[in-house]
Amino acid sequence: MGKTTSIGHFGVALAEEGYDVLLIDLAGKQGDLAKLFGIVDEIDPEDWPNISTVFQPEWERVVEQLGDDAIDQLIHETAEGVDLIPAHQGLDSLDIELESKYSGPNKYNRLDEFITEFISGRYDVVLIDLPGMANNITYNGVWAAQHVLTPVEAGSFEADQARALQYDLQKLSDGYDRDVSLEMIIPNKIDMRTKLARRYLEQYEDEFGDALAPEPVPMSQDIRNATENGQTIFALEEPSGTAKKAIDAYRSNARALVERV
């Protein structure tokens, strides 16, 4: 679908505009955002504290002991002007731990409390990469972010997923009295040469209206190659034609996002 790729490129586009940007990887797996920025090797799997620690009751004691160092140890710099709190294997069991240790809204506002208290003063923009499924970690992410972005490819399965997300967020808003909105749906991997892609774009415009990003991101082999080499396409010295179009699209969409929120 392109969630991790989108978040990484949005982050760099916003950093270029002069914003202090922090990315938080809650998607777990193989630390995809750290890979995207080529810093996997500098992250020790034994790192403590790590992103899963901030959700735990022990976090307060960690801060008492380490002070500001606790935050500094979580944050890694990248070569592309954005900072990153990488994923950690502690996230694997976090969903179940949140379920057993907390109840009511406390189950969902852990991340929000962490960001409000420790991160908001340091950064202009925080972008969170979330698991592609609804669990307690995802709820913490959307609760904290309130503004949700999602890529959507040209296809009926993908369109259904975007609709389902819109529905889930609405339910969360209504059920918990917390404003959460699907702020931007970003058509991704769009090949404008094909009739089919153009038809899906028209359909998305009709259906999602203002939530649709102003510029679709084209399919670009450069994106795949660059990210496998630990860079975004913003770092390429000689971007291809499609990569240039994608860079323009990320820039316009990032600017539109700033205006919307």
How far apart are the C-alpha atoms of 150 and 152, rounded to whole Å?
6
Does 162 contact ligand ATP by CB under 6 A?
Answer: no
Binding site for Mg ion (CB under 5 A): 3-4, 27, 32
Q: How far is the CB of 3 from Mg ion (least distance, A)?
A: 5
Q: How far is the CB of 229 from ligand ATP (least distance, A)?
A: 11
Beta strands 125-129 and 181-187 are unpaired
How far apart are the C-alpha atoms of 39 and 166, rounded to whole Å?
33
Does 197 contact ligand ATP by CB under 6 A?
Answer: no
Q: How far is the CB of 218 from ligand ATP (least distance, A)?
A: 6
Phi then psi for residue 85, to 5 deg, are -100, 105
Give the residue closest to Mg ion by C-beta: 4
Does 253 contact ligand ATP by CB under 6 A?
Answer: no
Size of interface with ligand ATP, in residues (CB under 6 A): 17
Query: Distance of CA 119 to CAs 35, 74, 126, 144, 248, Å?
Result: 23, 11, 8, 12, 29
How far apart are the C-alpha atoms of 128 and 144, rounded to whole Å?
9
Per-position x/- string for 14-43, each x denoting binding to ligand ATP as judged by CB under 6 A, each - no binding: -------------x----x-----------
Among 138, 220, 232, 253, binds ligand ATP (CB under 6 A): 220
